[in-house]
């Protein structure tokens, strides 16, 4: 079954077709021909025989309207022995379809899976060996420059997904969110979710502190950031209570997290710092 993370990674490369070529060149050192356009091609890699092959994503590089390179993008979250047979087939069939050389880009965030993906695939003919280029988590560029994030927002989101739980997570997200703000609402919503859900609590709090001075332009972004601040305040109430040794039962925790009134959350947070009991914090007129 295809996972949500798998589909999200595929969508990032689909939304910026040139990203596959950029990662091959910039991270993996693959030499590609000059091209003027990168285009998503059909993922159906069928032969005239009944056998059917379907890649995660197929990117076609064109120069003057003519295909010069086809890139097969495969997101691999676990080991799958079938890939040892289908990856070579993807390359040869797509090479035949588009009448140009073919490359493979495997994206594998788990180190053990990445090592497995990079193992040479012996095809039988002497010296005919496929060595899959693998984009590992630690090979993804760290994007902390807002200008770079604005130029390639998909790379910025990919960077946040890779390093969101590290000490650099908040800095990366801080560079990426203004770039996302300039996108259409549908893509912005998708990217905001990916970035925010990639951060741990510490990174989220650091990010919210960093971004207080930034003026978001789109109504969607303003609403989204306001929701994030509300959630942060709710979590802060719970954290302060627990730090002071006050037990927060599940029903009270759910009530706090469900609260959307910013002013009420701020009052609760102030009370949590000095109250002797949970009732003193939460018991107030509705």
Per-residue pLDDT of 108-135, as tens digits, reads: 999 999 999 999 999 998 889 999 999 9
Paired with 70 in beta bridges are 60, 102
* 134 and 114 fall within a common domain: yes
* 156 and 270 fall within a common domain: yes
* 223 and 277 fall within a common domain: yes
The predicted pLDDT at position 30 comes to 94
- Tell me if 207 sits within 8 A of 199, measured CB to CB: yes
Paired with 135 in beta bridges are 107
The predicted pLDDT at position 218 comes to 55
- Domain extent at residue 19: 4-139
What does each C-alpha distance from 84 to 61, 93, 120 come to in angstroms? Answer: 25, 15, 9
* 247 and 165 fall within a common domain: yes
Q: Phi/psi at 52 (nearest 5 deg)?
A: -125, 135
- Tell me if 71 sits within 8 A of 24, measured CB to CB: yes
Cα–Cα distance for residue pair 155/177, rounded to 1 Å: 12
* 215 and 101 fall within a common domain: no
Residues 67-122: tens digit of each pLDDT: 999 999 999 999 999 999 999 999 999 999 999 999 999 999 999 999 999 999 99
Residues 188-208: tens digit of each pLDDT: 888 988 898 898 888 877 777
Q: Which of 139, 161, 185 is the last residue of a domain?
A: 139
Overall pTM > 0.85: no
Provide the domain count of the chain. 2
Which residues have C-beta within 8 Å of that of residue 23, sequence separation ≥ 6? Answer: 105, 135
* 189 and 229 fall within a common domain: yes
């Amino acid at each position: 079954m295809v996972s949500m993370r798998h589909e999200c990674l595929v969508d990032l490369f689909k939304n910026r077709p040139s990203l596959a070529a950029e990662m091959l060149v910039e991270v993996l050192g693959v030499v590609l021909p000059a091209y003027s356009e990168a285009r998503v091609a059909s993922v159906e890699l069928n032969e005239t025989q009944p056998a059917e092959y379907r890649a995660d994503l197929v990117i076609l590089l064109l120069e003057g309207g003519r295909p010069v390179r086809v890139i097969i993008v495969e997101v691999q979250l676990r080991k799958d022995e079938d890939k040892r047979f289908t990856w070579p087939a993807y390359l040869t069939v797509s090479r035949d379809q588009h009448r140009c050389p073919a490359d493979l880009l495997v994206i594998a965030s788990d180190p053990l899976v990445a090592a497995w993906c990079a193992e040479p695939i012996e095809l039988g003919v002497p010296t005919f060996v496929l060595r899959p280029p693998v984009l590992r988590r630690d090979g993804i560029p760290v994007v902390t420059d807002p200008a770079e994030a604005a130029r390639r927002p998909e790379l910025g989101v990919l960077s946040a997904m890779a390093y969101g739980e590290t000490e650099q997570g908040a800095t990366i997200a801080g560079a990426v969110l203004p770039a996302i703000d300039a996108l259409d609402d549908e893509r912005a919503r998708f990217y905001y979710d990916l970035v925010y859900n990639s951060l741990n609590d510490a990174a989220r709090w650091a990010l919210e502190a960093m971004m207080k001075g930034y003026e978001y332009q789109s109504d969607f972004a303003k609403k989204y950031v306001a929701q994030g601040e509300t959630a942060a305040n709710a979590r802060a109430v719970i954290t302060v209570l627990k730090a002071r040794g006050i037990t927060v039962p599940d029903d009270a925790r759910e009530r706090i997290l469900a609260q959307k009134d910013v002013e009420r959350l701020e009052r609760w947070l102030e009370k949590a710092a000095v109250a002797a009991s949970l009732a003193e914090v939460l018991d107030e007129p509705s």
